[in-house]
Every structure is written in C-alpha cells, then in structure tokens.
Amino acid sequence: MKNALYVIGIGLLVGVVARILLPGMDPIGWFGTLIVGILGSVLGGWISRKVGKPVTKGKLDWRSFGFMVLGAVILLIVLRILF
C-alpha cells in the first residue's frame, strides 16, 4: 500500500512538472497527468540506464527526478503529435 501511494504521488508530481514545462492545451485532465507521470517515470528510468547513469531505485534525487520529468515530457510531445 505504501509503495502504491509513493508511485501515485511521485507520478502526479512528475506529470504536473512536465505539464508546467510544456504548457499548452492537453485534454487529459488530472488522471491523464498521473498516467503520463507514471509512464514518464518508467521511460525516464529506461533512458537513464541507456545513457549509463542508472537512477537509484527507491531513492528520489534530482538526477532521477530529472530523468522522470524528461520521460514525461517526451510522452506529452508524443501525445500532442498523435492527438
């Protein structure tokens, strides 16, 4: 239960920061922002492993948060292209 709340909280925070960095009219609402944040966090973790700077699992620091937001921004760009 604690891990699920952590994922939801961090995912929502990452999604909100990504939407602030990439302003515009996205018709996804708060639930879509949460999903973009969670999936962006997963994508950001994958990107960090590919560039040789793996994020620390279970620990939130600036570098891992930056990769999470980068992944969410990429997802927002893809969503805007598709819709």
pLDDT in tens, the chain (83 residues): 778 888 899 999 999 999 999 988 878 889 999 999 999 999 998 998 899 777 666 677 888 899 999 999 999 999 989 88
pLDDT of 1? 72
pLDDT of 58? 65
Q: Which phi-psi region, left, alpha or beta, contains residue 68 (left: φ > 0; alpha: ψ -120 to 50)?
A: alpha
Q: What is the pTM of this model?
A: 0.88
Sign of the alpha-carbon torsion through 78, 79, 82, 83: negative
Helix axes 2-21, 29-50, angle to 10 degrees: 90
Tell me the C-alpha distance between 47 and 82, whole Å. Answer: 22
Given a contact cutoff of 8 angstroms between Cβ atoms, the answer to whether 26 and 32 are in contact is: yes
Tell me the C-alpha distance between 26 and 4, whole Å. Answer: 26
